[in-house]
Amino acid sequence: MNRAVRSVLQYSRCLQRHPPRRGQEFLVCRCLGSRGGDQGPLCARVQVLSTSQDATAVLAAYFARQKCMPGDCYLLFGDVGAGKSYFSREFIRFALDDEEMEVPSPTFLLHNMYSGMNDGPPMIHHYDLYRLLDEKYSGVERLGFDNTVRSGVCLVEWPQVLEPLGLVPDERVELSFRLTSSSPTHEKDERIIDIRGFGPQWTRVVETLGEHIEQRGDALGLQYLSV
């Protein structure tokens, strides 16, 4: 674990004790639903440039070090290779406090599960629904997502599959990953990550993240971008 990732862990424990400063830098609004449509719940939005994989790991650590609770749901959007699986892998390792844990992609199995000690976080469910895009969404019901999203922590890659079935929870975090034009072959590992928190809890979490990136982002390889 490099120094940048260690540094985020040092101050992540006290984030919830310091409420975010309300300023013009952060977009807090009545947002649209998941990907458009009717007006949705209160949300906060932060857009950042991650300059390396280590910087993306810092974001994963930030969310994983929140108190993981049943019902926590992270929807991960982006093209193949944009960083969704890497974020999920680091999130799971940080949440379970095991940086060497094997976290294979669930591309073929669609769904992998992870659990820690009895006093640790609830079951973590990692979904990759890419293969269901070609099945007209018919395979989603077999996965029992409507139950796991209530009883565990869910990380969902290719969540577009959930929307036509009405399975997108009201309270959630959405992260959209996009490689920058300067890293078309992944050489620089630079990506723009658009983060939205829906619902009161995630609005506060995303606002606080925006403030910490503004104050400490350069040292962590993260640059705040105007929305």
For 67-94, the pLDDT digits (tens) are: 889 999 999 999 999 999 999 999 999 9
Say if strands 222-225 and 73-78 run parallel, antiparallel, or are unpaired.
Answer: unpaired
Report whether pLDDT(20) > 50: no
Confidence class of residue 131 from pLDDT cuts 50, 70 and 90? confident
Which pLDDT score, from 0 to 100, does residue 27 have? 44
Which pLDDT score, from 0 to 100, does residue 41 have? 57
Contacts of residue 21, defined as CB under 8 A and 6 or more positions apart, other chains included, come to 211
pTM of the model: 0.82
Report whether pLDDT(129) > 90: yes
Which pLDDT score, from 0 to 100, does residue 115 have? 87
Q: Kindly provide the b/e burial profile for residues 126-138, where b requires at least 16 CB atoms within 10 angstroms of the residue's own CB.
A: bbbbbebeeeebe
Which pLDDT score, from 0 to 100, does residue 17 have? 40
3-class secondary-structure state, position 219 = helix
DSSP E strands, 66-189: 73-78, 111-114, 124-128, 153-157, 172-179
Residues 171-218 have pLDDT tens digits of 999 999 999 875 555 456 899 999 999 999 999 999 999 999 999 899
CA proximity to 74, closest of 61, 63, 66:
63
Residues 22-61 have pLDDT tens digits of 333 344 443 434 444 444 557 899 999 999 999 999 999 9
Say if strands 73-78 and 27-32 run parallel, antiparallel, or are unpaired.
Answer: unpaired
